[in-house]
Amino acid sequence: MLENISRVLLTEEQIQTRVKELAAQLSAEYAGKNPIFVGVLKGVVMFYADFLKYFTEHCQMDFMWISSYAGTVSTGKAIVKQDVSQDIRGRHVVILEDIFDTGNSLQFTYNHLLAKEPASLKICTLLDKPERRVPGITVKADYTGFVIPNEFVVGYGLDFNEQYRNLPFVGVLSPEAYEK
Ligand code: IMP
Ligand code: MG
C-alpha cells in the first residue's frame, strides 16, 4: 500500500495534536449548546471519531452521505445518498468534513442543512485546499485543521478509488498511481 505514497504530508502525531486543539476550541464554544455534529461520509470517519473523543461537552452524532466524486475529478454535482436522521430545526449544527477542495460538496451540504432551519450552522474541516476553490462557492470554513497545498492526498479517511482510507497519516498520492 505504501509504494504509491510519495511523501507523508501530516504525521499521525501532527493530526492528533491539531484535532485535540480543534476539539478543545469547540468544547469551549459549544458548552451548554448540545450541538449536533454532522459528519459527511465516508472520508470524515477517522477525523470524526478522534474529534468526538476529544470533545468534552454534551453533543449528538449524525451523518450525511452525499455523492459527488469519481476518482480524482470533481463533477460539481451532488446527490443526497443518506440524510441526517433527526430533526435539526432550532439546533446548533456543525458540519464535520475531511477536506474542503473545490467547495462543491460543502456548499451543497451547507445549503441542504440550512434549509432545515438550524439555530446555527458552522463548518469544521480537517483539511483545506484553498487553491482548488471554484467560482460561486460562498461557504467558508469556520474551523480548519490544516491548510494544505494543491496535491491529491490520501489516508486518515481520505481515499483514492476507496483505497488508503485506513492509513493513520495523510500522505501525497504519487501521480503514477492514478494511471494504474
Ligand atoms: P469538493 O466538493 O471538491 O470540495 O470535494 C469534497 C470531497 O472530495 C471530499 O470530501 C473528498 O471526499 C474528496 N476529495 C477532495 N480532494 C481530495 C483529495 O486530495 N484526496 C482525497 N479525496 C479528496
Ligand atoms: Mg472521497
Tens of pLDDT, residue by residue over 76-106, are 678 899 999 999 999 999 999 999 999 999 9
Strands 143-147 and 170-173, sheet pairing: unpaired
- Give the ligand with the smallest distance to the CA of 129: 1
Starting from the CA of residue 68, give the closest ligand. Answer: 1
Question: Cα–Cα distance between 10 and 70 in angstroms, integer?
Answer: 24
pLDDT at residue 74 greater than cutoff 60 = no
Q: Give the whole-angstrom CA distance, residue 152 versus residue 129.
A: 10
Phi and psi at 52, nearest 5°, equal -65, -35
Kindly list the catalytic residues: 101
- Look at 17-31, 34-48, 115-129, 166-180 and tell me which has the smallest mean pLDDT: 166-180
Mean pLDDT of the chain: 94
CA-nearest residue for atom 11, ligand 1, is 99
Amino acid in position 96:
L
Ligand 2 center from residue 28 Cα (angstroms): 30
pLDDT given for residue 119 in this prediction: 98
157: Cβ below 6 Å to ligand 1?
A: no
Q: Identify the bridge partners of residue 66 per DSSP, sorted by sequence position.
A: 80
The helix (run of H) or strand (run of E) holding residue 22 is: helix 12-29
CA-nearest of 4, 25, 16, 6 to 156 is 16
Residue to mutate (ligand 1; options 48, 98, 99; most atoms within 8 A of CB): 99
> CA–CA separation, 134 vs 131, rounded Å?
9
d(CA 29, CA 86): 23
More confident site: 76 or 2: 2
Which of the listed residues 69, 133, 165, 167 should we mutate to test ligand 1's pocket, taking the one with most ligand atoms within 8 A of CB? 69
For residue 36, the CA-to-ligand 2 centroid distance in Å is 23
Please calculate the CA angle 128-157-133 and round it to the nearest 5 degrees: 25
Residue 137 has pLDDT above 90, yes or no: yes
Look at residues 18, 17, 22 and name the one whose alpha carbon lies nearest to residue 37.
Answer: 22
- For residue 43, count CB atoms less than 10 angstroms from its CB and return exposed for 0-12, middle for 13-18, buried for 19 or more: buried
